[in-house]
Amino acid sequence: MLLLVGLGNPGPKYERNRHNIGFMAVDEIVRRHSFAAWRGRFQALTAEGHFGGEKVMAMKPTTFMNESGRAVGEAARFFKLAPEDVVVLHDELDLAFGKVRIKQGGGHAGHNGLRSIDAHFGNNFTRIRLGIGHPGDKTRVHGHVLSDFAKAEEADLSTLIDAIGNAAPMLANPDQHNAFMTKVALAIKPPPEKKPSKGAEENDDGI
């Protein structure tokens, strides 16, 4: 079984915050792949579905961000999950907006949600790091993560969330994690179309 965790803060006040991009991504995965309805369980909202033959539980902790690990730890103990069975989607200050990276294990880099999961479950889970950019000054970080995405970013945000929803089944297989990252990156920034060579154009005209 795969536990797919989106990080964010509960409630409409925080719904479109940069800090809630993990919630946004998991919401789209649940919608796109026709998971069952959300229900309260493990101090979280959970929704069950499948990627191929793999059972998946999507999770959005209903505690605030800094207590996210309570829900993850409780579910992991109940289902006897190993770290490789847990994938966490979260905002990442150290990546430019729109960038996506996958990381196995490591430190929390000051992210309170990851810090809490480390404390309640350990740190060797898979992280899907969703770039939100850095405001450039440490004193502005708190306001930055708790601010909504700008209107100018909405189209790119929608493309990113859509791409994550589309590629999500790859997260069930660790061997496909790099392919997931590549597929999302290409959806966000497709390669330029190759223009036909002059010779090819001439051949098309029958010359």
The pLDDT of residue 55 is: 94
**pLDDT tens track for 129-147:** 999 988 888 888 888 989 8
Q: Which of 19, 90, 111, 177 is catalytic?
A: 19
Phi and psi angles of residue 48, each rounded to the nearest 5 degrees, phi first: -105, 145
Whole-model pTM: value is 0.86
Question: 19 catalytic, yes or no?
Answer: yes
Task: Provide the terminal-to-terminal Cα distance of the chain, rounded to the nearest Å.
Answer: 60
DSSP-derived secondary structure for 70-86: HHHHHHHHHHT--GGGE
Say which CATH number the domain at 115 has: 3.40.50.1470
| Residue 86: pLDDT over 90 | yes
**pLDDT tens track for 178-202:** 899 999 988 888 877 777 666 555 5
Domain count, the chain: 1
Query: What is the CA angle 64-65-67, rounded to 5?
Result: 75
What three-state secondary structure class fits 97? coil
**pLDDT tens track for 8-39:** 999 999 999 999 999 999 999 999 999 999 99
* Residues 14, 24: Cα–Cα separation, whole Å: 11
* Residues 144, 126: Cα–Cα separation, whole Å: 25
Domain that holds residue 24: 2-204
